[in-house]
Amino acid sequence: MKPNNLSRRDWMSVAAGLGLSMSGWLPKLAAETAADPQRKRSCILLWMNGGPSTIDMWDLKPGHANGGPFKEIATAAPGLKFGEHLPKLARHAKDIAVVRSMSTKEGDHARATYYLRTGNLPQGALQFPSIGSLLSKELGNPASELPNFVSVSPFRFFSQGAFGPGFLGPNHAPLIVGEGNFGAPAAGDASDRLLKVQDLARPKEVSDAQADSRFGLLRDLDSEFGADHPNLTHLSHRSAYDRAVMLMQSVGARAFDLQEESVRVRDAYGRNIFGQGCLLARRLVERGVPFVEVNLGGWDTHQNNFDALQRLNGILDSGWSQLMTDLSVRGLLESTTIVWMGEFGRTPRINQGKGRDHYPNAWSAVLAGGGIKGGQAFGKTTDDGTKVQGDATSVPDLLATLCKALGIDHLKTNNSNVGRPIRIVDKSAKVIKDVVA
């Protein structure tokens, strides 16, 4: 094979074999990949577990009793203002669209989490897939060495089913790393350890030939067992092993080695699980992973809302803004759509504990990057923040808009576990045309 005909995977294999660092030339490779007309889009979900107080971030009410102590700041987009603790994101505002008209009616953590993450409310035997599983199925490559869906630091306590593949089955389940850490600060190299896929490297005393032989024996035994036990449990077990073996043998698994990045870059993202998770998301997207979610918890601010938000916004601002910077530099922002949301907003009225309570009636979600017409706020709430003025945006509307930005037909159907064809997004959905580029 001539050098100029080497594939991307060939070059990565050669580099790994020679012990070369990818940090210097991978941005150039990513830029070439981004320019490939056959490149599919990617999606990064920034999930804010607990329900963020969007009235203090994206839709402030200065001068009103409900407004709280935070101030608005101007952004790079004329007329669009953010909360004062998001100054780095404000510089990216031309690529950001704030949807201020969300109204979703579900104020319970479990139900709302399930609703926002699947587009459906729980319905008995129907096991709805998460939006990550749905979109990665449409955008991903089944033969990819890297997983098509990676979930970074999820907190699944409220709704286990909201994070899974549902009726799409185990082949569309996420690879989970760093679970349950809320995106919090991590001392020393703890984030490196938490965000790595554990046990990828085999023991040094096991040779390639021995490993291949053992994998072959495992497949033979598994096939015999599966012939006698053709059920979902066996399918899930086999799928997990197949994916694990593929990842162990993949050069792309180096994406999880954050130590390849410079100290300057890592500091810019923030030395916490969320910030380093955003860095991991960039590394995965530039290697072709179509769906990555990064979770940041701690937003259930019934008490001391403003102190908590100042801290959380600092974490969010650094991680998200650097993610957009890096994607832009690598030519990947135009093909990567970012969605930011939690399960609901919080009450305009400030309670006696200086907190805000659950409030799904009027709140904000955010879309950014590829396929999005940024530099704007869509929709409006009343001066006191209690109601949406004009038409409200539903969960299906938001997800249909995300699908449109990604080039996916949201009315496409999949067969469910009970034999019913189910659309990716409910047929009631209306794409927000003003937000889609």
pLDDT tens, 308-332?
A: 999 999 999 999 999 999 999 999 9
- Cα(336)–Cα(405) distance, rounded to whole angstroms? 9
The answer to whether residue 251 is domain-embedded is no
- Within 170-299, residue ranges assigned H as helices are 190-194, 208-228, 232-248, 263-269, 273-285
- Cα(373)–Cα(158) distance, rounded to whole angstroms? 33
Which CATH number characterizes residue 337's domain? 3.40.720.10
The answer to whether residue 339 is domain-embedded is yes
How many folded domains does the chain comprise? 1
The answer to whether residue 225 is domain-embedded is no
pLDDT at 4: 41
Helix H or strand E encompassing 376: strand 376-378
The answer to whether residue 227 is domain-embedded is no
pLDDT tens, 97-126?
A: 999 999 999 999 999 999 999 999 998 889
Angle between helices 26-35 and 8-18 (to 10 degrees): 170
Angle between helices 395-405 and 131-139 (to 10 degrees): 20
Question: Quick one: DSSP state of residue 111?
Answer: H
- Cα(247)–Cα(339) distance, rounded to whole angstroms? 27
Identity of residue 93: A
Instruction: Please give the structure tokens belonging to residue 390.
Output: 């004009």
pLDDT at 182: 61
Q: What is the pTM of this model?
A: 0.85
Q: What is the distance, to the nearest Å, from the Cα of residue 251 to the centroid of all Cα atoms in its chain? A: 23
- Within 229-272, residue ranges assigned H as helices are 232-248, 263-269
- Cα(112)–Cα(190) distance, rounded to whole angstroms? 31
**Residue among 276, 342, 271, 300 nearest 113 (CA):** 342
Identity of residue 353: G
The answer to whether residue 164 is domain-embedded is yes
pLDDT at 302: 98
The answer to whether residue 145 is domain-embedded is yes
Instruction: Please give the structure tokens belonging to residue 307.
Output: 């102190």
The answer to whether residue 120 is domain-embedded is yes
Tokens 């580029």, residue located: 437
* Residue 352 lies in domain: 38-196+257-423
The answer to whether residue 294 is domain-embedded is yes
pLDDT tens, 193-230?
A: 888 876 565 566 666 666 566 666 666 666 666 676 66
**234 class by beta-carbon count within 10 Å (0-12 exposed, 13-18 middle, 19+ buried):** middle
Question: Quick one: DSSP state of residue 153?
Answer: S
